[in-house]
Structure 1
Amino acid sequence: MFNMFCLRQHLNRTYLPKSFLFKYSTSIKPISKENEEHYEKELKQFETLTNITKRTRQKKSQRPPFVKNLLLGTFDTEILTFPQLEKEEVQNVEKETDNLGKILKQKHMIGANSLSNKNFRQNLSDVKAIGLQASQFLDGRESTPLEVMKYLQVFSEHRLGDSIIHHEQLGLQTLVKYGSELLQKKYLYPVIKGEKLLAFCLNENKINDIQGLNTKAELSKDKKYWILNGQKSYVVNGISADYLIVFALTDVVIKDSGKEVKLTGFLVEKDFQGVKWEKIEGSDIELANIVFENTEVPCENVIGEVNNAEGIINTIITDFRLSCGAACSTLTKNLINKLLNKILEDSSDNLELYKTQTERYKLGELAANLYAAESAAYLTAGLQDWYENQDTAVESAIVKVLSSEAAYNASTICLDAVGLSAVSKNHWTRTLHEKAIDYLTLYETNENQRLFIALTGLQHAGLSLAEKIKKIRNPLFHGAFTLMRAFAGQRDLTDDPKLNLGLKHYLHPSLGPASEHLEYGIKRLEFATENILSKYGLEVINEHVDLCRLANVIIECYAMTAVLARASRSYCIGLQNSDCELLLAAAYCNAAKDRVQKTVISLYSYVHKNIDQNVIDVGKQMTKRGEYFIKNPLTRNF
């Protein structure tokens, strides 16, 4: 590492500062502004180089996908070692995040109501809080996924936390991972320095998935530009952004199975000709609709490869789902603390509300749900951190569902507890409830996430179970196999699976009963997977009700894994309040086991199937008539 004193002496010899020239120069011509700026720029570049630290920790080789293998009844016990950072890394990240938290609580930072505030962004840049995973050569931090989670939780404490996270995890990450060297130098660096702002443009009206994008781009005749036309909706930071990351349809390939669209990502400067925007009112987050009319985008502004943006979108959205875990965990924690303060304030000598079972149970249940969501988020970040190119697409989707629903449920409980005061639009319960709704709806709904979780898991399991499912669906051609399965499957049909995974040997002994709940969940998930594939075959993609139920079982199994791994680690290392963590883990696993039991029974029970069909038939009639058609209770026929 360079010695800073020697470095400055070297620079002073090369680019003399203004004060030196005025004092000793015989010329009366003042130093040019260009030379002074050049001096400062060189100095900053050298200072950046001297502050670069080598990340010495090497990732382990990739492991098989954890959650996907749960559908096959395979459990990777390595995952029960809850991820952690080295002591020096923990001390460093806590020091930096504490400093960031103090800065965000300063008066001029609290008052900022939009990322258009350049001073706000530059204050973040001064402490390297922009570009968390960007290269240190671009003045980023090169933080690991586990470290990023801590930063995101601190961001979430600020009123602009959602905007910052969208900017960091969607816009910046796209350029960090897929931007060319030219794009990173020209666009990413000024963003990291707080000089410019990015927005991620993916959403469009009336589309269900990225295959239905209507924004199109065509290559110009001279092949120097892409001509962009279309509209993006609900763009976060769309008003304040200087640069836009836009995904557009650039090709359509016709195949026997249907048409396949090809997408490309572009970096569009907002002042390019043909770019118009309109603010969407009614949300605490800055949202905008952005229209592109014959907007010419230089070919060098293509992000990644032409016609290959779907992979970019999937990777970036996976990272964003994980960031929802950090944001929603902070939101849920704030809701719980505010509810607790409300209960304590409402207590009096005559009515000690905080001592009632109802209030204590309510707080404990909220704490258990928060513990599960936060544990799943950090476990998933640890998988990305520890293993090379680890497949965590399903795990990240689970984190998004768990954490957003934990925040939403906490907000509704707070609304119920506060009562009449919550009528005020500015009441904290209403404000935080609307914030929770944003995470449920923006970019992806949780129903779509559940379908993604179930279908992705079944696709993986189907590759291994194809031959077995074929035999199950054709019993007359495989008599011996059918008889053996009939005898072997009796315990599954009577809801009494054999628990032989031995997970208790990898956890603290006090978590033995809870580990059996996890084993039960995995065995029932394996049975449910075989059942649903053998029942529906390839038509399973249309069975949305059962797919959502299967997804719920998958979510519960991963959540139990996370809480048990975390609680075991905390108690074994003697972490403060770890005894309460054991109680939370045991309580969550006990409740999750009951939910798994009911859900799996509903998947293979004919009684439940008939009830489902009745409900579906009523829904079918409503879609035909276009309204709720049941008559008023007072209506008479005679």
Structure 2
Amino acid sequence: MYSLRRVTFKNDLIKNTLLRLHSTSIETASKQTGPYDSELKQYERLTNLTKRTRQKKPQRPPFVKNLLLGKFDTEILVFPQLENEECDYLTRDTGNLKTLLKQKHMVNVNSMGDKNFRQSLSDIQSIGLQASQFLDGRESTPMEVMKFLETYADHDLGNNLIYNEQLSVQTLVKYASEALQKKYLFPVIKGEKLLAFCLNDKEFSTLSSMKTKAELTEDGKYWILNGEKMYVVNGVSADYLIVFAVTNISNNEESSDVSITAFLVEKDVQGVSWRKIDGSRNEVAQISFQNVQIPVENIIGQVHKADHIAKDIISDFRLSCGAACSTLSRNMINNLLQTILKESVEDPVLYKSESVRNKLGKMAMNLYAAESITYLTAGLQDWYDNQDVTIESAIVKVLTSEVAYEIAKICLESVGISANFKDHWSRKYHDRVLDYLTLYETNESQKLFIALMGLQYAGVKLSEKIKKLRNPLFHGTFALSRIWTNRKNVFDNPDLNLNLSYFLHPSLQQASLHLEYCAKRLEYGTEMILTKHGLEVMNKHVDLYRLADVMIDCYAMTAVLARASRSHCIGLRNSPFELLLASNFCYFARMRVKNNILRYYYVEDLNSDKNLYDIGKQMTKSREYIIQEALMRNF
């Protein structure tokens, strides 16, 4: 996938000149050789760059989107991996980062404002993971980035580090001009300055509802920024701000289109004020802008085109949640295991009990799925040119954060009364996991996004078919043939003819049939929901949540089977247990998928949904819980 080769520079004249100037024997002049030290160091860095040659495969059709059409790309069952040389470099570098973060002067840091903390990270090139090597970045691949982010997450400031890297730094890496990168990104990578990503307004739900605005001056040299940004992570200590603002509103008869532009704002300029928002483990700020002058050179990307920047960066951030939540989950499991073993000294039966071992197995199974979809999605970005992983990244965010939250709840319950103390490890991890459930995006909104994006893609391909299904009287022949061809789906017994077992280890044959069943049910569910609701499907949130859950399960099953098959085929240690984890996950996922699809058309389930809807409707009218007290009498 990538080949590494050392870049040699043949211009010996520069090197010899610098060495001659540096090696002067005149004692009085030795104090003047300081500048040459930095030049020599810079030259040494440039001569030791490692050029990375990308050899990506052609883009493939979007995997999850095509599942809704009944198309399964078996190429995705090949779990991604790095070359041996890349693995060695990655293991060495992430090991250095882990060692650094465990040192005393790094462990006790509680703010990204600590310049020594940032510069220590910069010294081992752990800031600007995907930035150019000429800016002292690493040019890491997405899979390598996930490994670094996992290491970040081990530190108490892990969330802040990930927000800084995947939101702020990545925005400049991808979209800033060369001049902006040299002026602002380079000092950030060197640890001298800190960035903050300002997207959320005070009342913010979508980009179109943004209230922060910027207007161009008459001379065309400056933009005047006014507004307020909320929940800005690292906003207290930041030196530079990436601010998204409305720069154009075009009103149509039916709606108004809002254009967004991204600006790089220096925090110490006139008109910028901030206050710290207390109550969060993260360093969160509210930042106000009042007639702030921004040079036109400080626009990131193109004018009026920042909505694409925000969507792309947030998509990358969703994927990074997988690495962070996997590390948090792994640490919680290990801590709980140590707690159980410690308590078993007094009560030897505890760690042998059925409930404890069942909990540990369940947590391991869910963590295995979280790790698998994270690296499968990163691998899709690595292996294929400009691969569409929009839905896959959202699935990673939802599944991994829910897995981490479920593990956090199990830990709280298992630890008992000790979890009431804020300094207890279970409480700390629980609070950190909450950030990934709520900050920037909730999982409910993400599930709607997953389902609607999938239906939008499938709806275009199935438009003629859905039209006939919704109008059977005008297409009698098609309707009658459909009754016959669809009879097995109606009775929850689809034809399993994808032959996925051909692409997996034989031990996973039964699990592959579970995946085939779920893929077939997803195809059937997609047709059902479009036929049932038509264009009104956007407002049918309950059905959309169920469809999203099915999509998540299908993708997760694909990831765990691909990973387990690869591990067992190459003989990784404990790979037989990976087969067990994958098989069990697929079994439970099959039951969830079966239940979700059946609820689309079982009369009892339809009535249940209607009853809950009516109760909720009445409560919104009454503006309170409508049921009388349990001891109330009527006579």
Alignment TM class, shorter chain as reference = over 0.9
In the alignment, the residues of structure 1 paired with residue 445 and residue 347 of structure 2 have an alpha-carbon distance, to the nearest angstrom, of 49
Q: 1:11 aligns with which of 10, 18, 36?
A: 18
Structure 1 CA distance for aligned equivalents of residues 537 and 170 of structure 2: 35
User: Is 1:188 matched up with 2:185?
Assistant: yes
| Aligned residue in 2 for 1:138 | 135
Instruction: Report the CA distance between 1:255 and its aligned residue.
Output: 3.0
Q: Match for residue 461 of structure 1?
A: 458
Distance 1:341 1:349 in 2: 14
In structure 2, distance between residues paired with 1:40 and 1:222: 45
Letter in 1 for 2:604: V
- Please identify, of 622-631 and 313-322, the stretch whose mean Cα deviation from structure 2 is larger: 622-631
Match of 1:68 in 2: 65
CA apart distance, 1:351: 4.0
Q: Deviations over 1:552-596 (max 9, x none)?
A: 000000000000000000000001111100000000000000000
Per-residue Cα deviation, 1:69-100 (whole angstroms, up to 9, x for no partner): 00001000000000000000001100110011
Say which of 27, 37, 40 aligns to 1:22. 27
Q: Give yes or no for the alignment of 1:148 onto 2:145.
A: yes
1:418 corresponding residue in structure 2? 415
Distance 2:126 2:463 in 1: 48
Provide the alpha-carbon RMSD of the alignment: 1.5
CA distance in 2, matches of 1:94, 1:589: 31
Aligned length: 628
Aligned to 1:337: 334
The question of whether the paired residues in 2 share the 8 Å contact of 1:21 and 1:31 is answered with: no
2:532 to 531, 535, 559: 535
Q: Secondary structure at the match of 2:53?
A: coil
Among candidates 176, 179, 192, match of residue 176 of structure 2: 179
- The 3 A distance-change label for structure 1 pair 346 and 7 is farther
Match of 1:55, SS?
strand
**1:129 pairs with 101, 126, 130, which one?**
126
1:132-281 alignment to 2 at 5 Å? 132-281=129-278
Give the 4+ runs in structure 1 shifted more than 3 A: 2-9, 348-351
**Aligned partner of residue 603 in structure 1, secondary structure:** coil
Kindly state the Cα deviation for residue 430 of structure 1 after the two structures are TM-superposed.
1.1
Structure 2 unaligned residues grouped into runs of 5+? 1-7
Task: Give the Cα separation in 2 of the matches to 1:623 and 1:47.
Answer: 68
The normalised TM-score by structure 2 is 0.97
Q: Which amino acid aligns with 2:328?
A: L
| Alignment counterpart, residue 116 of structure 1, candidates 113, 117, 127 | 113
Moved more, 212-221 or 251-260: 251-260
Which amino acid in the other structure matches residue 254 of structure 1? N
- Unaligned stretches of 5+ in structure 1? none
Task: Indicate if the aligned counterparts of 1:247 and 1:266 stay in contact, CA closer than 8 A.
Answer: yes
Scaled by the length of structure 1, the TM-score of the pair is 0.96
Counterpart check, 1:48 vs 2:45: yes
Q: Show the counterpart of 2:437.
A: 440
8 A contact 1:114–1:160 mirrored in 2 = yes
Q: 1:488 aligns with which of 473, 485, 489?
A: 485
| Aligned residue in 2 for 1:584 | 581
Cα distance, 1:348 vs structure 2: 3.8
How far 1:327 sits from its partner (Å)? 0.3
> Aligned-pair distance for 1:234?
0.4
Listed as ranges, the matches of 1:264-303 within 5 Å are: 264-303=261-300
After superposition, give the CA deviation of every residue in 1:157-214 in whole Å (9 maximum; x if it has no partner): 0111110000000000000000001100000000011110000000122221111111
Are the counterparts in 1 of residues 247 and 261 from structure 2 also a CA contact under 8 Å?
yes
Match of 1:373 in 2: 370
**Which amino acid in the other structure matches residue 27 of structure 2?**
F
In structure 2, relative to structure 1, the CA distance for the partners of 1:57 and 1:576 (3 Å cut) is farther
Secondary structure of the structure 1 residue equivalent to 2:599: helix
C-alpha distance in structure 2 between counterparts of 1:258 and 1:600, whole Å: 35
Letter in 2 for 1:499: L
> Partners of 2:41 and 2:289 in 1: how far apart?
38
Offset, 1:276: 0.5
Q: Distance in 1 between matches of 2:26 and 2:491?
A: 91
Q: Percent identity?
A: 60
Structure 2 counterpart of 1:560, one-letter code: M
TM-superposition CA deviations, 1:503-558 (whole Å, max 9, x none) = 00000000000000000000000000000001111110000111011000000000
Asked whether the equivalents of residues 377 and 399 of structure 1 are also in contact (C-alpha less than 8 Å), the reply is: yes
Does the residue aligned with 1:222 lie in a helix, a strand or coil? coil
**Aligned residue in 1 for 2:505:** 508
Residue 598 of structure 1, aligned match among 595, 600, 606: 595
The answer to whether the 8 A contact 1:179-1:303 is kept is: yes
Distance 1:97 1:475, change over 3 A: same
Displacement of 1:338 in angstroms is: 1.0
